[in-house]
Amino acid sequence: MAKNAKSAEQEFELAHLIKVQRNPVSEREYQQKNRDSLAARLRDGDEKAAQELVDLYYWQIYLYMRRLGHNHQLSEDLTQESFLNAWRHIGQLRDGKALNGWLYRIASNVSRLHWRTQGGRKEVSIEGFNVQHTGVVASDEAGHSEQLERLESVVARLPMKLKQVVVLHYMQDLTIAEAAQAAGIRQGTCKSRLNRALKILRKEFV
């Protein structure tokens, strides 16, 4: 089961990378049109639209949970809880442009609540992820593979506030505005945290 989940995770990331690299501008425009339509139907209480939301975002939210440090089973549970909360608070969704940030904000709150009930956040390595599939770096060379493993390890050890914005912006491909909304912070704060995180990462690779 775990092996199948890991394989599915990697296939999803690779497919996402190929899709974005093929034609990123037209792809984003297409996705925005879909989000606009989906958001309107969700606000109308369309249950089929709710299922489409799950189909469209399930793996994205699951990967987000994994990258925040949750294990496989817990990530599945928190992902399901995120969609349940999204449906309960569907009236808060303004429009398609806000869909990404809104859904990730709900997922972030679910994750944060879990850490809080556990008495604090535990630093957990990002299990089962090859960074080369995220679109940040891709190389077949052995030396680069080692650097990617180091990068994965360093990102996992970042303070949660810094790790969250790195994951949201660089790994989940959210814009600065969407990442800030998801984290519940101002855009300036988001940029500041990204800069601090990048400084830490650069020091590790000097």
Which domain range does residue 96 map to? 2-204
How much is the average pLDDT of 159-165?
94
Question: Residue 30 maps to which CATH number?
Answer: 1.10.1740.10
d(CA 34, CA 49): 11
**Terminal CA-to-CA distance of the chain, rounded, Å?**
39
Q: What is the per-residue pLDDT across 54-75, written as a single tens digit (0 to 9) for each?
A: 999 999 999 999 999 899 999 9
Q: Is the pLDDT of residue 9 over 70?
A: no
How many folded domains does the chain comprise? 1
d(CA 155, CA 38): 33
Q: What is the per-residue pLDDT across 71-101, written as a single tens digit (0 to 9) for each?
A: 999 999 999 999 999 999 888 887 777 888 9
pLDDT band at 131 (very low <50, low <70, confident <90, very high): very low
